[in-house]
Amino acid sequence: MPKRSEDEVTTEELPPRIPILSARGTSHVHFEVEGVRYEGVRELEVRPNGERLLEVARRVGDGALSGPCLVRQLLSPFTFIQRQRMFEEVQLAFRLNHPNISQIFHVRVDEEEDAAYAVMEYVGGPSLETLVCAALVRGQPLSEGFGLYVGAEVADALHYAHTLTSEEGVPLGIIHRDVSPRHIALGQHGEVKVLDFGAAYSLLAGREESPEMLLRGDVAYSSPEYLRKERLTARSDVFSLGVMLVEVLTGKHLFEVHDLPVMAANETQFRLEAQPSLPLQQMQALMKTFNPDVVEKAVAHLNEDLKAVLHTALRLNPQERFAMAADMRDALRGVAHAQLHEPYGRGEAAVEAARVVSEGGVLRDQVEFGEAGLYPAGLEKHELGLKKE
């Protein structure tokens, strides 16, 4: 992992443009920073918002290969809010030093060339979104052991971020605001990584708060108070984590919008930074009728101890939820200790993830074309081991 410093936030060594990479084996030197060369390997993904994700290799000094990393390139021309989000994500990354939080090493915005890039930690395994979709395709959700393990690891990372202080001991007030399956990934050895703190709220000096009516992140996983633009606390991320775990453990999203009428966009005063996975207006309508019965219906088949954790995390009133993500972490680990016959950790998660990706990946194209898209647009084919067109 490259040595990072706050001076690297505005480094000028990155190139004005990174050429498109379409196949493994492409090995052009793209840029060099402090004696480390970054060589392109392949393009992994073009996201719906136009961002490109590239895998690059690092070579240090005498040419020894030191491992892969990622380069994220914004759509050109990029917007001010996209650029600001990238800078804010990097600003936080220099302070967030936790094994379950993915790191960002450098950022560069070139106004003349209209280009913006970030060099990021490489997480070699699939996103949780990929695993949930693959499990859905194969007709069997991820195991309770997997959900308990991932949930506890994410909660630990969130607690670290929530309780982080400045050098003077002043709380930074960091709330992720976008805890969702797309922003959780597994490393190659089963380690859990929380991604994309670009949507985070914090009191960090120099960070700009979102405009009053702007909602950042995927509202399908948002807490009730965020959908009302009320004050956010650690309990808000706890709620989002609860929604995510219900989906991991059941294969279904907690909020079902298909029975609600489509509502006109002008019926809400809020605007979204990115397209959500569920419509904002329907989410707001469902939240008005949300109660413990909704949770119980979704998790009825899970064991009672696990259900109790999810019910606590998913209380409508924030004061009735876990006060801290660490409390939810400890509760999940307690259930794992009491309910699982064998320990479940990185190794078990890596094995299960590989099996789910293999079983779901084989059926992906059949389901995608046969049922009009269980896999969301832009899902990374490289995560399923499929060839790019």
pLDDT digits (tens, 9 = 90+) for 275-318: 555 666 777 778 888 999 999 999 999 999 999 999 999 999 99
Catalytic residue from among 110, 114, 156, 178: 178
pLDDT band per the 50, 70, 90 thresholds, residue 49:
low
pLDDT digits (tens, 9 = 90+) for 83-138: 666 666 667 777 888 999 988 777 766 666 566 777 888 888 888 988 998 898 88
Report how far residue 383's alpha carbon sits from residue 312's, in angstroms, rounded to the nearest whole number.
33
15 residue type, one letter: P
Q: Which pairs with CB-CB distance under 8 Å and at least 24 residues apart come from 31-40?
A: 33/2, 33/8, 33/106, 33/119, 34/2, 34/3, 35/60, 35/61, 36/2, 36/60, 36/66, 38/69, 38/71, 38/119
User: What integer best gives the mean pLDDT of the chain?
Assistant: 76
Is residue 178 among the annotated active site residues? yes
The mean per-residue pLDDT over the stretch 148-165 comes to 96
CA distance 324 to 326: 5
The one-character DSSP state at 7 is G
Cβ-in-10-Å burial (0-12, 13-18, 19+) of 312 comes to: middle
Residue 58: the pLDDT is 80
> What is the model's pLDDT at position 268?
52
For the stretch 165-177, pLDDT in tens is 888 888 888 888 8
Tokens of 332: 């999940």
> 380: Cβ–Cβ under 8 A, 6 or more apart, which residues?
44, 45, 126, 127, 130
The three-state (H, E, C) secondary structure of 230-270, written as one string = CCCCHHHHHHHHHHHHHHHHHCCCCCCCCCCCCCCHHHCCC
User: pLDDT by residue (tens digit) across 175-213?
Assistant: 888 899 988 999 989 999 998 776 666 665 444 454 444
Give percent of the chain above pLDDT 70. Answer: 63
The secondary structure of residue 318, as a DSSP letter, is G
Q: What's the Cα-to-Cα distance from 185 to each of 198, 219, 249, 286, 295, rounded to whole Å?
A: 16, 19, 16, 28, 25
Give, for 185, the enclosing helix (H) or strand (E): strand 184-186
pLDDT of 83 reads 67
For the chain, domain boundaries: 6-121, 128-346
Residue 21 carries which DSSP code? -
Rg (CA), the chain: 21
Q: Which residue did the predictor score with more confidence, 30 or 369?
A: 30
- In total, the chain counts a number of residues equal to 389
Whether domain 128-346 has CATH 1.10.510.10: the reply is yes
Label the pairing between strands 214-215 and 192-194: unpaired
- CATH homologous superfamily of 6-121: Phosphorylase Kinase; domain 1 (3.30.200.20)
